[in-house]
Amino acid sequence: MPSYQTTGLVIGRTNFGEADRIIRLLTPQYGKLSAVARGVRKIKSRTAGHLELFGEVVLQLATGRQLDTITSARLVWYPHALTDDYGRLALAYAFGALIDRIAQEHQAQPELYEHLREALAALSDGAAGPLIELWFKLRLLQLAGYRPELQRCVACGQDNPDASYAFDAARGGIVCTACASAGSHAMPTNTIKLWRLLSDYPYTTVSQITGAATLAASSLPWCDEFYEHHLGKAIRPGFGTII
């Protein structure tokens, strides 16, 4: 049976059969991957402790006809500080669920991998609240090719920096006053600028921006609305999201 090795972040786990578990992973080279960990729910399992949710593991896998099998797993990094904080753990669950929805199987996506790894590290270092959530969601849209239009009116193309704009989730970005409709939300220039930065920069950079947390809190619902229109139901932090 051919085998291969990869690094992966555990984004989901499902019990399977009597003692097995299906592990869902995000990997840099193979994108999203599901693999069976056999006997992992037995007390004597050697791999069990290495396949924790949100851990980064080095895996050896054997190719199977339907599902690949994990033949060995070694935990190399784990966001330890996450487990004692309900709010940050809920964000990690939401991030895992978003990645699970957006990442492609069997397709190299190293930038998505780096994004999730960076987000989990930031949460473990104490990041919390709407700013990291909005950053994760907007940057994910950018990396996956769904970035909202934030430079010019999506309807008429106007790009006057002194004009007022509104955000229109259904139409995919900002609209000028003339093109705004009942579904658009007036979007202050500072918020538009923040959204551009959140789409392009790492969290360590954007977390330094003065006033970013307040602007993020007021505009996060519009980002969820964008997900709802273009990528299915929005995913918000909370344990209602079982992954």
In the block, residue with structure tokens 């220039």: 189
In the beta sheet, which residues pair with residue 22? 14, 36
Q: How far apart are CA 111 and CA 24, in angstroms?
A: 18
Measured from the CB atom, the residue of 120 and 169 that comes closer to Zn ion is 169
* 176 binding Zn ion? (CB under 5 A): yes
**Residue 150, helix vs strand vs coil:** coil
Residue 186 within binding range of Zn ion, rule CB under 5 A: no
Q: Report if residue 76 touches Zn ion, rule: CB under 5 A.
A: no
Q: At closest approach, how far in Å is the CB of 30 from Zn ion?
A: 42
Closest distance between Zn ion and the C-beta of residue 224, in Å? 24
Comparing CB distances to Zn ion, the nearer of 89 and 180 is 180
24 forms bridges with which residues in the sheet? 12, 34
- Pairing state between β 165-168 and 185-187: antiparallel
Q: Helix 189-200 vs helix 130-144: angle between axes, to the nearest 10 degrees?
A: 60
Contact call for residue 179 and Zn ion (CB under 5 A): yes
Check residue 153 for interaction with Zn ion (CB under 5 A). yes
d(CA 185, CA 30): 39
Q: Of 48, 143, 155, 163, which lies in the binding site for Zn ion, with binding defined by CB under 5 A?
A: 155
- Least Å distance, CB 175 to Zn ion, is 5
Indicate whether 187 belongs to the interface with Zn ion (CB under 5 A).
no
Binding site for Zn ion (CB under 5 A): 153, 155-156, 158, 176, 179
